[in-house]
Chain A
Amino acid sequence: SYVLTQPPSVSVAPGKTARITCGGNNIGSKSVHWYQQKPGQAPVLVIYYDSDRPSGIPERFSGSNSGNTATLTISRVEAGDEADYYCQVWDSSSDSWVFGGGTKLTVL
Protein backbone atom coordinates (compact mmCIF):
# COMPACT_ATOMS: atom_id res chain seq x y z
CA SER A 1 0.00 0.00 0.00
CA TYR A 2 1.00 3.61 -0.50
CA VAL A 3 3.03 5.22 2.29
CA LEU A 4 3.24 8.92 3.11
CA THR A 5 6.24 9.94 5.18
CA GLN A 6 6.23 13.08 7.33
CA PRO A 7 8.85 14.27 9.82
CA PRO A 8 7.56 13.70 13.36
CA SER A 9 8.35 17.22 14.40
CA VAL A 10 9.30 20.64 13.07
CA SER A 11 10.28 23.62 15.20
CA VAL A 12 10.29 27.24 14.14
CA ALA A 13 10.61 30.65 15.76
CA PRO A 14 7.71 33.10 15.58
CA GLY A 15 7.76 35.17 12.41
CA LYS A 16 9.87 32.63 10.51
CA THR A 17 8.83 30.14 7.83
CA ALA A 18 7.92 26.53 8.57
CA ARG A 19 8.09 23.86 5.91
CA ILE A 20 6.46 20.48 6.51
CA THR A 21 7.17 17.77 3.98
CA CYS A 22 5.15 14.76 2.90
CA GLY A 23 7.06 12.15 0.96
CA GLY A 24 5.61 9.47 -1.27
CA ASN A 25 6.47 7.59 -4.44
CA ASN A 26 5.67 9.92 -7.34
CA ILE A 27 3.39 11.94 -5.09
CA GLY A 28 3.59 14.73 -7.65
CA SER A 29 1.12 12.78 -9.76
CA LYS A 30 -1.45 12.79 -6.96
CA SER A 31 -3.65 15.45 -5.37
CA VAL A 32 -2.40 16.24 -1.88
CA HIS A 33 -4.47 17.72 0.91
CA TRP A 34 -3.35 19.07 4.28
CA TYR A 35 -5.10 19.22 7.65
CA GLN A 36 -4.29 21.05 10.87
CA GLN A 37 -5.29 19.52 14.20
CA LYS A 38 -4.97 21.29 17.52
CA PRO A 39 -5.11 19.35 20.81
CA GLY A 40 -8.59 18.12 21.67
CA GLN A 41 -10.07 19.39 18.42
CA ALA A 42 -11.17 17.89 15.13
CA PRO A 43 -8.89 18.41 12.12
CA VAL A 44 -9.33 21.42 9.87
CA LEU A 45 -8.57 21.51 6.15
CA VAL A 46 -5.85 24.07 5.37
CA ILE A 47 -4.76 23.15 1.83
CA TYR A 48 -6.51 21.11 -0.87
CA TYR A 49 -5.48 20.07 -4.37
CA ASP A 50 -1.82 20.68 -3.56
CA SER A 51 -2.02 24.44 -3.19
CA ASP A 52 -5.59 25.74 -2.87
CA ARG A 53 -6.69 27.42 0.36
CA PRO A 54 -10.20 27.09 1.78
CA SER A 55 -11.93 30.31 2.69
CA GLY A 56 -10.91 31.49 6.12
CA ILE A 57 -7.40 30.02 5.96
CA PRO A 58 -4.74 32.75 6.06
CA GLU A 59 -2.61 33.41 2.98
CA ARG A 60 0.37 32.50 5.13
CA PHE A 61 -0.50 28.85 4.40
CA SER A 62 0.61 27.55 1.03
CA GLY A 63 1.36 24.23 -0.59
CA SER A 64 3.37 22.69 -3.39
CA ASN A 65 3.77 19.21 -4.84
CA SER A 66 6.36 17.83 -7.22
CA GLY A 67 8.29 14.64 -7.76
CA ASN A 68 8.34 12.60 -4.55
CA THR A 69 7.63 15.42 -2.10
CA ALA A 70 4.69 17.64 -1.23
CA THR A 71 5.32 20.61 1.05
CA LEU A 72 3.12 22.68 3.33
CA THR A 73 4.66 26.09 3.92
CA ILE A 74 3.58 28.39 6.73
CA SER A 75 5.00 31.90 6.47
CA ARG A 76 5.31 34.35 9.34
CA VAL A 77 4.53 31.62 11.83
CA GLU A 78 2.39 32.56 14.83
CA ALA A 79 1.96 30.85 18.18
CA GLY A 80 -1.55 29.86 17.11
CA ASP A 81 -0.14 27.74 14.29
CA GLU A 82 1.22 25.24 16.78
CA ALA A 83 -0.57 22.00 15.94
CA ASP A 84 -0.27 18.61 14.27
CA TYR A 85 -0.36 18.64 10.48
CA TYR A 86 -1.36 15.72 8.26
CA CYS A 87 -1.11 15.17 4.52
CA GLN A 88 -3.60 12.96 2.66
CA VAL A 89 -3.90 11.39 -0.79
CA TRP A 90 -5.95 8.75 -2.60
CA ASP A 91 -4.14 5.50 -3.35
CA SER A 92 -5.64 4.00 -6.50
CA SER A 93 -3.80 0.70 -6.08
CA SER A 94 -5.67 -0.07 -2.87
CA ASP A 95 -8.75 2.10 -3.37
CA SER A 96 -8.10 3.86 -0.11
CA TRP A 97 -7.37 7.25 1.35
CA VAL A 98 -3.98 7.48 3.01
CA PHE A 99 -2.84 9.90 5.70
CA GLY A 100 0.71 10.73 6.56
CA GLY A 101 1.85 10.00 10.08
CA GLY A 102 1.57 13.64 11.08
CA THR A 103 4.02 16.38 11.98
CA LYS A 104 3.95 18.28 15.24
CA LEU A 105 4.75 21.91 14.63
CA THR A 106 6.29 23.63 17.64
CA VAL A 107 6.57 27.40 17.76
CA LEU A 108 9.60 28.24 19.87
Chain B
Amino acid sequence: EVQLVESGGGLVKPGGSLRLSCAASGFTFSSYSMNWVRQAPGKGLEWVSSISSSSSYIYYADSVKGRFTISRDNAKNSLYLQMNSLRAEDTAVYYCARGKGGQTSGYIDYWGQGTLVTVSS
Protein backbone atom coordinates (compact mmCIF):
# COMPACT_ATOMS: atom_id res chain seq x y z
CA GLU B 1 0.00 0.00 0.00
CA VAL B 2 1.34 3.40 -1.00
CA GLN B 3 1.81 5.69 1.98
CA LEU B 4 3.00 9.29 2.08
CA VAL B 5 3.38 10.82 5.53
CA GLU B 6 4.23 14.50 5.88
CA SER B 7 5.81 16.08 8.93
CA GLY B 8 7.45 19.32 9.98
CA GLY B 9 4.54 21.70 9.82
CA GLY B 10 3.78 24.20 12.53
CA LEU B 11 3.62 27.85 13.51
CA VAL B 12 6.40 30.13 12.28
CA LYS B 13 6.86 33.89 12.25
CA PRO B 14 6.99 35.88 9.01
CA GLY B 15 10.50 35.75 7.61
CA GLY B 16 11.19 32.47 9.32
CA SER B 17 12.08 29.06 7.95
CA LEU B 18 10.62 25.58 8.11
CA ARG B 19 11.57 22.23 6.61
CA LEU B 20 8.86 19.79 5.61
CA SER B 21 9.55 16.08 5.22
CA CYS B 22 7.59 13.33 3.52
CA ALA B 23 8.25 9.66 4.30
CA ALA B 24 7.24 7.36 1.46
CA SER B 25 6.56 3.64 1.62
CA GLY B 26 4.80 0.89 -0.31
CA PHE B 27 6.43 1.65 -3.68
CA THR B 28 9.83 2.08 -5.33
CA PHE B 29 10.38 5.71 -4.36
CA SER B 30 13.37 6.21 -6.65
CA SER B 31 11.23 5.47 -9.72
CA TYR B 32 8.75 8.29 -9.31
CA SER B 33 8.71 12.05 -9.53
CA MET B 34 7.39 13.76 -6.42
CA ASN B 35 5.52 16.96 -5.76
CA TRP B 36 4.40 19.43 -3.14
CA VAL B 37 0.92 20.92 -3.46
CA ARG B 38 -0.60 23.33 -0.96
CA GLN B 39 -4.05 24.49 -0.02
CA ALA B 40 -4.68 27.68 1.91
CA PRO B 41 -7.57 27.54 4.40
CA GLY B 42 -10.86 27.50 2.51
CA LYS B 43 -9.10 27.88 -0.84
CA GLY B 44 -8.23 25.71 -3.81
CA LEU B 45 -5.21 23.59 -4.66
CA GLU B 46 -1.94 25.27 -5.64
CA TRP B 47 1.01 23.37 -7.09
CA VAL B 48 4.25 24.33 -5.33
CA SER B 49 7.13 22.26 -6.69
CA SER B 50 8.12 19.06 -8.48
CA ILE B 51 11.28 16.95 -8.56
CA SER B 52 12.08 14.15 -10.98
CA SER B 53 13.01 10.66 -9.82
CA SER B 54 16.77 11.30 -9.96
CA SER B 55 16.55 14.99 -9.00
CA SER B 56 17.66 15.96 -12.49
CA TYR B 57 14.62 18.14 -13.11
CA ILE B 58 13.19 20.56 -10.57
CA TYR B 59 10.33 22.99 -11.04
CA TYR B 60 8.82 25.70 -8.83
CA ALA B 61 5.74 27.86 -8.87
CA ASP B 62 6.57 31.53 -9.35
CA SER B 63 5.06 32.26 -5.94
CA VAL B 64 7.80 30.29 -4.14
CA LYS B 65 10.74 30.49 -6.55
CA GLY B 66 13.88 31.68 -4.78
CA ARG B 67 12.43 30.99 -1.33
CA PHE B 68 11.61 27.27 -1.34
CA THR B 69 13.88 24.36 -2.20
CA ILE B 70 12.67 20.85 -3.00
CA SER B 71 14.96 17.87 -2.55
CA ARG B 72 14.82 14.13 -2.08
CA ASP B 73 16.89 11.30 -0.64
CA ASN B 74 16.14 8.10 -2.52
CA ALA B 75 18.18 6.05 -0.04
CA LYS B 76 15.86 7.21 2.74
CA ASN B 77 12.64 7.21 0.66
CA SER B 78 12.11 10.80 1.67
CA LEU B 79 11.05 14.07 0.07
CA TYR B 80 11.77 17.49 1.54
CA LEU B 81 10.71 21.10 1.17
CA GLN B 82 12.93 23.77 2.69
CA MET B 83 10.88 26.94 3.10
CA ASN B 84 12.66 30.23 3.77
CA SER B 85 11.49 33.83 4.02
CA LEU B 86 8.01 32.66 4.86
CA ARG B 87 5.07 34.98 4.37
CA ALA B 88 1.54 35.02 5.70
CA GLU B 89 0.29 33.94 2.28
CA ASP B 90 2.30 30.71 2.60
CA THR B 91 -0.11 29.56 5.30
CA ALA B 92 -1.62 26.35 4.00
CA VAL B 93 -1.86 22.60 4.27
CA TYR B 94 1.08 21.18 2.35
CA TYR B 95 0.56 17.86 0.60
CA CYS B 96 3.27 15.48 -0.50
CA ALA B 97 2.15 13.78 -3.72
CA ARG B 98 3.44 11.12 -6.09
CA GLY B 99 3.67 11.99 -9.75
CA LYS B 100 2.81 9.71 -12.64
CA GLY B 101 3.03 9.96 -16.39
CA GLY B 102 5.90 12.41 -16.72
CA GLN B 103 6.10 16.06 -15.79
CA THR B 104 4.66 17.70 -18.88
CA SER B 105 1.56 15.60 -19.19
CA GLY B 106 1.48 13.92 -15.83
CA TYR B 107 -0.73 13.85 -12.81
CA ILE B 108 -0.79 12.92 -9.13
CA ASP B 109 -1.91 9.41 -8.32
CA TYR B 110 -1.32 9.41 -4.55
CA TRP B 111 -1.49 12.15 -1.93
CA GLY B 112 -0.42 12.33 1.68
CA GLN B 113 -2.77 13.63 4.35
CA GLY B 114 -0.99 16.97 4.54
CA THR B 115 0.79 19.05 7.17
CA LEU B 116 -0.36 22.50 8.23
CA VAL B 117 2.01 25.45 8.02
CA THR B 118 0.89 28.65 9.71
CA VAL B 119 2.86 31.84 9.20
CA SER B 120 1.87 34.42 11.78
CA SER B 121 3.41 36.78 14.28
**A residues whose Cβ falls under 8 Å from a Cβ of B:** 1, 30-31, 33, 35, 37, 42-45, 48-49, 54, 84, 86, 88, 90, 92, 94-102
Main secondary structure of the interface of B (DSSP, over half): strand
Q: Which of A90, A96, A101 contacts B61 (CB 8 A)?
A: A96
User: What are the residues of chain A within 8 A of B95 when measuring CB–CB?
Assistant: 42-43
Besides A42-B111, A42-B113, A43-B111, 19 new A-B residue pairs in contact (Cβ under 8 A), listed by A number: A31-B107, A33-B108, A42-B112, A43-B95, A45-B107, A48-B100, A48-B101, A49-B107, A90-B106, A92-B104, A94-B62, A96-B47, A96-B60, A96-B61, A97-B35, A99-B37, A99-B44, A99-B45, A100-B44
Whether A90 pairs with B62 at a CB distance below 8 angstroms is no
Contacts of B104 in A (CB 8 A): 90, 92
Q: Pick the contact of A86 from B44, B50, B106, B109 — CB < 8 Å? A: B44
Residues on the B chain within 8 Å of A88, using CB: 45, 47, 107-108
Given A42-B113, A43-B111, A99-B62 contact (CB < 8 Å): no
B59 within 8 A of A: yes
CB of B46 closer than 8 Å to a CB of A = yes
15 residue pairs A–B, Cβ–Cβ below 8 Å: A31-B105, A31-B106, A33-B107, A35-B45, A35-B108, A42-B113, A48-B107, A48-B109, A54-B109, A88-B108, A90-B105, A90-B106, A96-B47, A99-B37, A99-B47
Residue of A nearest to B112 (CB): A42
